[in-house]
Amino acid sequence: MRDKLKILDCTLRDGGYINDWRFNKKTAREVYRSLSKSGVDVVEIGFRGSEKYFNKNKYGLWRFSKDDVIREVTNGIKGAKLAVMGDFGKIGIDDFLEAELTPVDIVRLAVHKNNLKPCVLLLEKIKKKGYQTSLNAMGYASYTLQERKDLASLVNESNLDFLYVADSYGSMLPDQVALLFEPMLEISTAKLGFHPHNNLQMAFANTLEAIKCGVHIIDCTLHGIGRAAGNLPTEVLILYLELSKRGKYNVIPVLNCVDTYFSPLRKEADWGYQLPYMLSGMYKCHPNYAKNLIRLRQYNIEDISKAMEEINKINPVGFSQQVIDDVISQGIIGKWQFDSTQSRPKDPPAIPYLNRHKDKDFLVLANGPSLKACKDKIDAFIEKFDPIVIGANNLSELFKPDYHAFNNKRRFAMYADSVSEESILMISQHFDDQFVSEYTKRHCEKIYYRDRLDLDFDIQDGVIQSNCRTISVLLLGLAVAMGAERVFAAGLDGYVGTAHTGTHFYNEVASVSDEDVLVELHHLCERFIAQIDQYLVAKGKEGIHILTPTDYKSFYKGIENYI
């Protein structure tokens, strides 16, 4: 068994998640050439799928892997067999010619556990066209023992050539591999494959355990390129087999390819081990859950960990944006002890700041670039109206507000020591005392708010009812809770549009950069500002006044009108 171990490289397929499968033909040809020269047995050259499911303009050649294109880039090179992969549900029998008319040898279908039987039926039809076939069981680590036994029985009753255990979320540990593989080792009709991911930096260690178990074929990619934390690096596996005198392999050709094509690409694209992907492995969740949460830049790793723990309990099949939306809207991230059936907290604490400054003017200082650009005018406004001033995050000593607030643990850790001694320090209810004490010995007041997307703005027993994860919007609500007669804001520039020149005047490196996330964040803030504005108007007060240039146009009043 040890001498029969084979390697399948899926660089052009799994690596395509990094660049939308836009490897040019020269790169694809050199990948195939180098892998063949290094002794790799199978090269999965890309995805195959019905174009009706995909935007052809968005993806490159290797999302579709047409037979004529495959033939063009591999012509004249002798070596590895060729494979393509399809996502079950997005591919059909009509996507394949008779095998003798194509350069493709093997067809693999990736499938979740809720579609195993129909996937096997499709693979059996594909096999009749002359291809070798493989079922890739995604998210295998989340299978129960009974589900693993059922899968083994299903494959034994089929005529498949390969069954792949896919550690899709990189959640396996070496001491779990033998137990997880055990039912699969009883399969007599198909060879067993292993597709590792590297979320926990365990891809190679798990592979060594899989080899000990008797697996027939291992997946890998050049330089580990692949979605999220990436895959087992092909060059590492080949080097190991070469050094341990395990057959025909030679690492030099693939090292040359990595050096020429993939080391430069890694400087432009992002793959490999990262904390969010470690969490997806830890909680056996699709990596897109962690990726989407981290892109929002609203949560620290502790918050994301709580979300992933909850998603693990839900145990969704694959990825669903709705699951993220539900977890956020239910207040699970950084949750406080609320009664899930009511709109207010159990035994709400006495809110010491409730109506503390009744009928006073308030000025909220956000962190947009206009805060610095308009400093002199803002100083003049403060001098004239003497408002209660509430600032957020890093103020860089531009202002010394009456209150200085944080609702993001990461920013609290970064900027708590910059808060003026003249300011009252206010923090989110979600900050526990031990965490706070690590960064300041000062007394802190807690801000109480019900952190949910599905609530309209209100103040109940002093608790702010609305999702206000953006600190400046939360502080508008805090001003209302403190009894504000009028609420002004400066530096509340917005995240998109003509006024947008950056998310923070101090150019914080970790600020949001993805345009689609910025747009979503902008509209969420606009919605919450509008709710607070309507709340004030319904109470017979003036609405929200944004004094400095902003893309929240409905609330812009212009500071010149006041000074």
pLDDT (0 to 100) of residue 560: 95
Tens-digit pLDDT profile for residues 144-197: 999 999 999 999 999 999 999 999 989 999 999 999 999 999 999 999 999 999
More confident position, 412 or 346: 412
Cα→Cα distances 15→224, 227, 233, 262, Å: 8, 7, 11, 10
Tens-digit pLDDT profile for residues 221-275: 999 999 888 999 999 999 999 998 777 899 999 999 999 999 999 888 878 887 7
Cα–Cα dist 488/496, whole Å: 21
Tens-digit pLDDT profile for residues 14-28: 999 999 999 999 999
Cα–Cα dist 302/309, whole Å: 11
pLDDT (0 to 100) of residue 79: 92
Phi, psi of 305 (to 5 degrees): -60, -40
Q: Return the ∠ at Cα 247 (arms to 241 and 250), rounded to 5°.
A: 65
Cα–Cα dist 553/499, whole Å: 10
- What are the CB-based long-range contacts (under 8 Å, 24+) for 538-543? 541/484, 541/485, 541/486, 542/485, 542/486, 542/487, 543/487
Kind and range of the H or E run holding 383 = helix 375-385
Cβ proximity of 113 and 143 under 8 Å: yes
Signed CA dihedral, 44, 47, 50, 51: sign only: negative
pLDDT at 333 over 90: no
The full set of domain ranges for the chain reads: 2-268, 283-329, 361-561
pLDDT at 537 over 60: yes
Cβ proximity of 107 and 132 under 8 Å: yes
Cite the beta strand spans of 213-320 per DSSP E.
217-220
Q: 361-561 adopts what CATH topology?
A: sialyltransferase cstii, chain A (3.90.1480)
pTM score, whole prediction? 0.70
Cβ proximity of 490 and 382 under 8 Å: no
3-state secondary structure 403-453: EEEECCHHHHHHHHHHCCCCCEEEEECCCCHHHHHCCCCCCEEEECEECCC
Beta-sheet strand order (sheet of 463-465): 449-450, 463-465, 458-460
pLDDT (0 to 100) of residue 331: 58
Cβ proximity of 170 and 197 under 8 Å: yes
pLDDT (0 to 100) of residue 509: 47
Report the b/e string of 231-246 with b at 16+ CB within 10 A.
bbbbbbbbbbbbeeee
Cβ proximity of 88 and 138 under 8 Å: no
**What mean pLDDT value characterizes the chain?**
88
Cα–Cα dist 468/390, whole Å: 15
Level-2 CATH architecture, domain 2-268? Alpha-Beta Barrel (3.20)
pLDDT (0 to 100) of residue 453: 67
pLDDT (0 to 100) of residue 529: 93
Cα–Cα dist 439/449, whole Å: 23
pLDDT at 501 over 70: no
Cα–Cα dist 478/529, whole Å: 12
How large is the average pLDDT for residues 452-481? 84
Cβ proximity of 466 and 531 under 8 Å: yes
Cα–Cα dist 94/175, whole Å: 42
What tokens were used for 519?
């747009």
Q: In DSSP terms, which residues pair with 458 in a beta bridge?
A: 465
Phi, psi of 463 (to 5 degrees): -85, 130
Phi, psi of 44 (to 5 degrees): -85, 110
Tens-digit pLDDT profile for residues 82-136: 999 999 999 999 999 999 999 999 999 999 999 999 999 999 999 999 999 999 9
Q: Return the ∠ at Cα 371 (arms to 334 and 393), rounded to 5°.
A: 25
Task: Specify the 3-state DSSP secondary structure of 490.
Answer: strand
pLDDT (0 to 100) of residue 24: 96
Cβ proximity of 424 and 390 under 8 Å: no
Cβ proximity of 36 and 1 under 8 Å: no
Task: Specify the 3-state DSSP secondary structure of 398.
Answer: coil
pLDDT at 500 over 60: no
pLDDT at 343 over 50: no
Cα→Cα distances 296→11, 16, 304, 459, Å: 29, 24, 11, 26
Cα-only R_g, the chain: 28
pLDDT (0 to 100) of residue 339: 38
What tokens were used for 325?
């939306």
How large is the average pLDDT for residues 280-299? 77
Beta-sheet strand order (sheet of 361-365): 444-447, 424-428, 403-406, 388-392, 361-365, 486-490, 544-546
Cα–chain center distance at 355:
40
**Identity at 98, one-letter amino acid code:** E
Q: Return the ∠ at Cα 298 (arms to 319 and 551), rounded to 5°.
A: 110
pLDDT (0 to 100) of residue 1: 37
pLDDT at 436 over 80: yes
Tens-digit pLDDT profile for residues 36-88: 999 999 999 999 988 788 878 889 999 999 999 999 999 999 999 999 999 99
Cα–Cα dist 473/547, whole Å: 15
